[in-house]
Amino acid sequence: MAIDNQTEGTPLTSTATRTYDKGARGQRNETTRRITAEVLRICKWENPIRSAIILFGLIASIILTQRYSLLQIITGSLTIAITVNLLYVFGAQFTQTVVSDRPSTHPWSNVLEDKDTDLLNKESAVHYSSIVVDVAETVARAVTRIVLIEDRNTSLKWLAIFFTTWRISAYVPSRILILGFIISAFIFPRLYISNKDLIDARLHQGQAILNSQFQRTQEFASAKLATAKEATQTYVDKTKSAVESKTNTGSNAGTSTTTSVPSQKLD
């Protein structure tokens, strides 16, 4: 009876594991689709104010990190925050004492005395951590498909992008490249939407040229490989024939020498 229960329990565990894997994969794909759609909406300027704020924030952060270190940014931000709040608290308490003629209270007392309020929401932290993991998993799978050549055209496109970036990065600082990439991401989608037909035609033309050149290169390499294989085979055959001929000549010479030795007659 125990064996039957164990036998029946094993498929249920496997089924549950497969169901969990499919559910996690579906959730990861859904999260990636939502993030991709949100990024496209931002880059297409569907909400101009929001896109402008995000673009300005990204550019400002890159410029600040280029001029100042992360430690300087953190300590400077805390210095400004403490100074502003010090002036605010002093002014509020002074106003309450002089103008209202009543005991002063701390303007942030509701925040400082509330011990039950969580400054960091654990549920939100877990949620955003899972989003980061899902996006990282999606990126890793996409890179794997590109490197292992799942689709030839996609891999060729990314090969050109990576090679160009690699060569340019030898002469241009990384921050400049990142800044150019961000500005391009906010400019080119709008240009593509405005000139979609013309750009699509040029892209198809360029893709056709690349495919034609790749086909010619492949045919040329195949012809050269066949020629080299044929030349190698001919050389091997000649070498083999020469070795066999030399071996046969040596064998015949040995036989002639043995035959020509005179036999001595004993008295």
Residue of 6 and 87 predicted with greater confidence: 87
pLDDT score of 265:
47
Instruction: Look at residue 266 and tell me whether its pLDDT is greater than 50.
Output: no
Instruction: Look at residue 6 and tell me whether its pLDDT is greater than 80.
Output: no
Residue of 258 and 220 predicted with greater confidence: 220
- Percent over 90 (pLDDT), the chain: 6
Taking only the tens place, the pLDDT of each residue in 145-154 is: 889 988 888 8
pLDDT score of 75:
92
Residues 6+ apart with CB under 8 A from 46: none
Residues 6+ apart with CB under 8 A from 27: 134
- Percent over 70 (pLDDT), the chain: 78
Give CA separation, 61 vs 64, 174, 178, in Å.
Answer: 5, 14, 11
pLDDT score of 101:
66
Instruction: Look at residue 98 and tell me whether its pLDDT is greater than 80.
Output: no
Taking only the tens place, the pLDDT of each residue in 166-182 is: 999 889 888 888 888 88
